[in-house]
Structure 1
Amino acid sequence: MKMKNLIAGAILTGTLAGTFATTVQAADYTIDTKGAHASINFKVSHLGYSWLEGRFNEFGGQFSYDEANPSAANVNVEIDTASVDSNHAERDKHIRSGDFLDVSNFPKATFKSTSFNANADGTAVMNGNLTLHGVTKAVELKVSKIGEGQDPWGGYRAGFTGTTEFKMKDFGITKNLGPASETVYMELHVEGIRQ
């Protein structure tokens, strides 16, 4: 009887360990910022006459995704707000100032997902909390899966794109540039390397 119990215990332990290892391997990714295969971009209407476009050059994070269980997906991203880049040094200085990002007081912005609702066509809606300018608000991202698979270097990658929009005043940024310039439109491209 003891031998049977030992064998059964060994099989169960091996099965659980194998399941855990597969789950971790299949789900956890580091965003590939080192290889510049990810970007956080934004645009704001300039007085209703043109678009001001920019990006954040320094950010990092992780995400988890398992195609067999997409609703368990989650994302955690941290952005260095001083790395804002609109391709114009004087304007970037103004964006970093107290009128907008106030980077001396709020050097980091973060996004932490709270839910991921996948559709059959590869799109999804991700909800989460965006902390910007010291204020945390719920936002919704429209997400599309780009693809996943082996890379040429023996790794495994997955990539997504997402869009969202929000009012600057909702995050305590009250500089008034007129009604056409109240909304920030964000586009995120994320490629992760499975760990």
Structure 2
Amino acid sequence: MKELIALAVAAVSMAASLSAQAAPETYVIDGAHTYARFAYSHFGYSTQESRFDTTKGKITLDRAAKTGSVDVTIDTKSVNTGSDLFNTHIQGADFLDTGKYPTITYKSTKFNFNGDTLASVDGNLTIKGVTKPVKLEVTSFKCMPHPMAKKDACGANATATIKRTEFNAGKYAPNVSDDVKLTFAIEAIKE
């Protein structure tokens, strides 16, 4: 009888341990190491690259179940083109219209894994009040203890290409490319 009770206690303990490992974990985006970048062809002369300096949000990840979610908000007024004049220009109504639309959001609908590796994220991107499905291709993904924060952390790089005309930001297209490559460098610290 004692062996049966010990076996039952061990089984309950093991099940509790396994379910704790499979529980979703929430990570808060580290704004000092997270940047949303965009690049486009400028009249075919060159590829212009710019970024947003302020990104906030949370990532929930259950690696055992291979599920997760991401909810990100980008401050459109934090656009950084490298030129104060162009920052003002791109914040205007022809492009981001930051007075009316102060944020860009991305909300995931599904995490896609290839084995144990996060391969892509399906979700909805909202720019200027227009929401479109956008798949982010994940080019790198890593979770480990953060050596300075002394907490678990995850980081990823992801890319997608959108057409800016689909988001009512198509001034000068196609001379200034309609295709815009989005690149995200994200780091997040466990809550």
TM-score in terms of structure 1 length: 0.83
* Partner of residue 28 from structure 2, selected from 24, 27, 30: 30
* Aligned-CA RMSD value: 2.3
Mapped to 2, the partners of 1:134 and 1:142 lie a distance apart of: 23
1:116–1:126 contact (8 Å) kept in structure 2: yes
**Cα deviation, residue 19, structure 1:** 6.6
2:63–2:116 contact (8 Å) kept in structure 1: no
Matched residue, 1:101: 96
AA of the residue aligned to 1:101: L
1:47–1:177 contact (8 Å) kept in structure 2: no
Aligned residue pair count: 181
**Cα deviation, residue 134, structure 1:** 1.1
Residues 88-127 of structure 1 aligned to structure 2 (within 5 Å): 88-120=83-115, 122-127=117-122
Higher helix share: 1
2:151–2:189 contact (8 Å) kept in structure 1: yes
**Cα deviation, residue 65, structure 1:** 1.6
* Partner of residue 161 from structure 1, selected from 125, 146, 157: 157
Q: Secondary structure at the match of 1:94?
A: helix
2:118–2:141 contact (8 Å) kept in structure 1: no
Matched residue, 1:55: 51
Higher mean displacement: 51-60 or 15-24: 15-24
Residue-by-residue CA offset, 1:164-191 (whole Å, 9 max, x unaligned): 0100110112312435511110100111
- For structure 2, list consecutive stretches of 5 or more residues without a partner in the other structure: 1-7
Residues 142-161 of structure 1 aligned to structure 2 (within 5 Å): 142-153=137-148, 154-161=150-157
**Cα deviation, residue 143, structure 1:** 0.9
Change (3 A) 1:123 1:180: farther
Residues 1-80 of structure 1 aligned to structure 2 (within 5 Å): 22-24=21-23, 27-33=25-31, 36-70=32-66, 72-80=67-75
Mapped to 1, the partners of 2:155 and 2:139 lie a distance apart of: 9
* Partner of residue 168 from structure 2, selected from 152, 169, 172: 172
Q: Secondary structure at the match of 2:62?
A: coil
Does 2:182 correspond to 1:189?
Answer: no
Does 2:128 correspond to 1:133?
Answer: yes
1:115–1:126 contact (8 Å) kept in structure 2: yes
Matched residue, 2:78: 83
AA of the residue aligned to 2:49: E
Residue-by-residue CA offset, 1:126-185 (whole Å, 9 max, x unaligned): 110001011011111101343211122421111111000100110112312435511110
Aligned-pair identity in percent equals 35
Higher strand share: 2
